[in-house]
Amino acid sequence: MSSSGNDPRQPSSAKPYKPQPVHPDNLPIDYSGFIAIIFGVAGVMFRYKLGSWLALIFCAQSLANMKNIETDLKQISTGFMFAIMGMVTNYLSPARGAVKT
Amino acid sequence: MATPRSSFFFSPRCDTLLYLIALLSLLLHHISADSHFEGFDADDDLEDDTVLFQPPLSDLPRRPPPAPTTLSTPSDPESHHGPPVPQSDPDLNPKTTSFDYWDEDEFEGFPVDNNNVITPPEVIKTTSDDSVLNENENEKARVLEPVSLSKRIRAYTVEMICVSFLIMFAVNYFTGKKENENLALAWAAKFATKDTIFDKNFSLLGVGEGDNSPLLMKEGQNVFKFYASGRRYCQDLVATMELKSRQDLIAKLYNMVVPCKDEITIEVRMNEDAMDHVVFALGKKKAAKVMHKEVRDLQRFASLMTAGPNGRKWVADELMVITESKEVAGDLITETVLDQVFGEKAFQSLGKLFISLHFSDQQQGTHKKMLVFKFALPDVNHMADMTRLVALVPYYIDLIGRYKLSSQARSKTEAARSKVAQEAYKEQQNERQEMLQRKKAEKKKMMEEAASKLNAEALRKKEAKERARQLKKAMPKIKMSRGA
């Protein structure tokens, strides 16, 4: 099935690659980052350990699926912040220790 | 002989235990004649070697007998305070320590547990009261310890699961990433290196400039792009590989339930003058119907073609053609293509790798005249399987580049296009008019608002004046003189 005719190549018409600009609104939605934020907030609000851990896991997923560093990093960092905040409130808060003892 | 090792084993425990064990070893020397203790010694060794492994539990009942023997020699000054405790200690301690690693739930109802706790006090009851108290305290401490520890372990199950999941996720991220890269590179090596299909057809390969530019561009961990340009009839070619999200463990687990394929989409942007009016698509029956419904240009211009032209070989039964006119379909599906790919025979082997073709001069997006090929990627070692599919790309570029519709068909397609164009124009005009009207309405609203504002302002001014006048009236008339 070779293309008929002689060499089909045309170096003169070659153009270097130009990445097509993608509008930030057209990017696929980062669901895992969104879920991470929800779990993170739940973890902080209700002192729900598992929530914070799940937030951390979904942060990792979001990070693994990151395509555009600039736009995605914002959401991931918010999710991560909530997760860390939840961790701190859950494990380091004095109130919890008082309850335990 | 067992002591050095066992003492090492117990080192984290308190010193008294060490002392007790030393005592016991002494005792053991005393009563080495006892046959039970010979076996017991061996057991102890075993236990030290395998901490997690619980040695035969049958040796537990054996423990009580030695107790009377040791206690029956109270004359020994050393054994006065020593014996009762060490008796149970040396054997019990390994038990409890190895016990620590047990999940209590798993061994619920295990008979030994109870024996372990109950038998020693029973034995000691026969002896002095003093030792009973002592022993009981020890027992309490020992019983409490494993419970609190297992409780603590249970309290951290969530953490343990999550941390281990995160670790697995991280490991999977790197292995999956590597796997995807290997697959993309295998494709590039097969079709885009020297003397391969794309090299023979395009003068520029890769995303950068120069000969040594990288062939592939990575967009995310599972999307790779390949670019080629410099060929007759077309401007450029972009191949986008969308691989499975192997780097993402959660997606991987999800894909176990809902399987997906590694896909490659090859988009060829044709030159403006090199493509006649062609709207044509080919896919498996189900997918073709979906395409016909969802893709706009197919929906507008084309229709499903249920039967091939008479007296000719046609595509495999699984496939469905969507086309603007029968003529186009007949001309685009040539004998060679049928023979190589879409014929009944050839398609049997290639069917699993073919997804769809879509050629149109009315594509949505910035560039209208475009050929889109969608294939599934085989695994790394079988990349050659899709050679014939990839060969379709330059073949169709040439075929469509040269293709001219007959005048009859052309008039039809032109009519259809002008009709659509008219509709689009009308729509545009409608939109523009709506915009104008909206603007007008907004302007009117603004004017009204301004007017009402003005009114309000005038009213306020009037009121203020009135108030000032009233204030003036109410003010007492006092004259003030200003000092120099």
Cβ distance B392 to A64 less than 8 Å, yes or no, reads no
Give the pLDDT band of residue B132 (cuts 50, 70, 90). Answer: low
A65 and B229 in contact by Cβ < 8 A? no
Are the beta carbons of A9 and B231 closer than 8 angstroms? yes
For B263-292, give the secondary structure using H, E and C.
Answer: EEEEEEEECHHHCCCCEEEEEEHHHHHHHH
Summary mean pLDDT of chain B: 76
Which pair of structure tokens corresponds to residue B150?
């297992």
Six-digit token string for B436 = 């104008």
Question: Does residue A89 surpass a pLDDT of 60?
Answer: yes
Alpha helices in B192-272 (DSSP H): 197-201, 249-257
String of DSSP letters for A1-15: -PPSSS--B-GGG--
Cα(B377)–Cα(B383) distance, integer angstroms: 8
Q: H-helix or E-strand containing B336? A: helix B335-337
Is the model's pLDDT at B287 over the cut of 70? yes
Nearest C-alpha neighbor of B359 from the set B391, B397, B387: B397
Of A1, A3, A61, the CB nearest to B340: A1
**CB-nearest partner of B395 from A3, A17, A65:** A3
* Contact between A1 and B336 using a beta-carbon 8 Å cutoff: yes
Other C-beta atoms lying within 10 Å of the C-beta of residue A85? 16
| Interface with B, mutate which of A17, A39, A50, A99 (most B CBs under 10 A) | A17
Residues in chain A: 101
Which is higher by pLDDT, B6 or B424? Answer: B424
Render B297-360 in DSSP notation, one character per residue. Answer: HHHHH-EEE-SPPTTS----TTEEEEES-HHHHHHHS-HHHIIIIISHHHHHHHGGGEEEEEEE
Q: φ and ψ at B73, to 5 degrees? A: -120, 65
- pLDDT category at B149 given cuts 50, 70, 90 is confident
What ipTM goes with this model?
0.84
Q: How confident is the model at residue B374 (pLDDT cuts 50, 70, 90)?
A: very high
Among the partner residues A14, A53, A57, nearest to B204 by beta-carbon distance: A14
**Chain B neighbors of A67, CB-CB under 8 A:** 219-220, 223
The C-alpha atoms of residue A82 and residue A61 are separated, in whole angstroms, by 16
pLDDT of residue B144: 58
Query: Tens digit of pLDDT for each residue in B31-77?
Result: 444 444 444 444 444 444 444 445 444 444 444 444 444 444 444 44
The predicted model gives B216-230 an average pLDDT of: 88
- As beta bridge partners, residue B279 has B360
Q: What is the mean pLDDT of residues B148-169?
A: 87
- The larger pLDDT score, comparing residue B125 to residue B430, is at B430
**How many residues are recorded in chain B?**
484
Q: Give pLDDT, residue B405.
A: 85
- Contact (Cβ atoms closer than 8 angstroms) between residue A52 and residue A90: yes
Q: What count of CB pairs under 8 Å joins A to B?
A: 106
Closest CA to A66 of A36, A101, A21, A42: A36
Q: Which residue has the higher pLDDT, B369 or B1?
A: B369
Please answer yes or no on whether B227 and A12 come within 8 Å at the CB atom.
Answer: no
Residue B261 contacts by C-beta under 8 Å, 6 or more apart in sequence?
B244, B376, B377
What are the residues whose beta carbons fall under 8 Å from the beta carbon of A82, sequence distance 6 or more?
A: A36, A37, A40, A41, A43, A44, A52, A55
The whole-angstrom distance between B449's CA and the closest CA on chain A is: 35
Q: For an interface test with B, which of A6, A10, A91 has the most B Cβ atoms less than 10 Å from its Cβ?
A: A10
Lowest mean pLDDT among B106-120, B124-138, B380-394: B106-120
How many Cβ atoms sit within 10 Å of the Cβ of residue B137?
Answer: 10
At residue B438, the pLDDT reads 95
Which residues in chain B are closer than 8 Å to A57, comparing Cβ atoms? 162, 165-166, 169, 250
Whether pLDDT at B245 is above 50: yes
Domain ranges of chain B: 3-155, 179-409
Q: Which two tokens stand for residue B426?
A: 């009308």
Assign residue B253 a region: left if phi > 0, alpha if psi is -120 to 50, beta otherwise?
Answer: alpha
pLDDT band at B196; cut points 50, 70, 90: confident
Q: What is the pLDDT of residue B172?
A: 94
Can you tell me the distance from the alpha carbon of B400 to that of B404, in angstroms, rounded to the nearest whole number?
8
- CA A22 to chain CA centroid, Å, is 18
A20 to chain B: closest CA residue: B366
- Residue of chain B whose Cα is closest to the Cα of A48: B158
Indicate if the pLDDT at residue B445 is higher than 90: yes
Residues pairing with B357 in the sheet: B282, B373
CB B32 within 8 A of CB B38: yes
Q: Which pLDDT does position B96 carry in this prediction?
A: 46
**What number is the average pLDDT over the span B263-273?**
91
The listed range with the strongest mean pLDDT (B120-129, B146-155, B337-346, B460-469) is B460-469
When pLDDT is cut at 50, 70 and 90, the band that residue B334 belongs to is confident
Q: What's the pLDDT score for residue B242? A: 92
Residues 6+ positions from A91 with CB-CB distance below 8 Å:
A49
The pLDDT, as a whole number, for residue B255 is: 92
What pLDDT shows up at residue B290?
Answer: 92
pTM of the model: 0.63
Largest CA distance in chain A: 87
pLDDT at B263 over 90: yes
Give the residue, B295 or B13, on which the prediction is more confident: B295
Partnered with residue B360 across adjacent β-strands are: B279, B370
CA closest to B394 among chain A residues: A3
Quick one: closest CA in B to A62, which residue?
B248
Pairwise CB contact (< 8 Å): B165 & A9:
no
A contact test, residue of B169, B269, B271, B334 with most A CBs within 10 A:
B169
Q: Are B103 and B54 in contact (CB under 8 A)?
A: no
Q: Do A61 and B251 touch (CB under 8 A)?
A: yes
**Cβ–Cβ under 8 Å, residues A42 and A66:** no
Best B154, B166, B271 member to test A by mutation, with max A CBs in 10 Å, is: B166
Subunit contact A15:B392, Cβ cutoff 8 A: no
- Contact between chains at A61 and B340 (C-beta distance less than 8 A): no
Q: Do A62 and B248 form a contact (C-beta atoms < 8 A)?
A: no
What pLDDT is stored for residue B127 in this prediction? 47
Report pLDDT digits (tens) over A14-64.
888 887 777 766 777 778 888 998 999 988 888 888 888 999 999 999 888
Tell me which of B203, B269, B341, B367 to substitute to probe the interface with A (most A C-beta atoms closer than 10 Å): B203
The pLDDT value given to residue B95: 45
A77/chain B closest Cα distance in angstroms: 17
Which comes out higher in pLDDT, residue B212 or B10? B212
Would you call A8 and B231 a contact, using CB atoms and an 8 Å cutoff? Answer: yes
